[in-house]
Amino acid sequence: MPVYTFLEEYDFGAKTIIPFVTHGGSGFSGTISTISQLQPGAHVSENALSLSRNNVADSEAAVVE
């Protein structure tokens, strides 16, 4: 929710937003579409990073990629 509040208060029109999350099993669960709704002028990349909490320790290669 803090991220959504931030996105409601600032305008990222004409910018590219590349979401990344760590999660316990839910992945993005609608986050990309919500960001798109909150920032209609921005390009929200579908090429985003989603890491399970179980893989964070071994995620360096995925983050670099």
Q: What is the CA radius of gyration of the chain?
A: 13
Residue 47, classed as helix, strand or coil, is coil
Residue 13 lies in a domain: yes
At residue 27, the pLDDT reads 86
How many domains in the chain? 1
Residue 59 lies in a domain: no
At residue 46, the pLDDT reads 87
Residue 64 lies in a domain: no
CA distance 16 to 45: 7
At residue 28, the pLDDT reads 87
Query: What confidence tens digit (pLDDT) does each residue in 8-51 have?
Result: 999 999 999 999 998 998 888 888 999 999 999 999 998 899 99
Residue 61 lies in a domain: no
At residue 1, the pLDDT reads 81
Residue 30 lies in a domain: yes
Residue 65 lies in a domain: no
Residue 63 lies in a domain: no
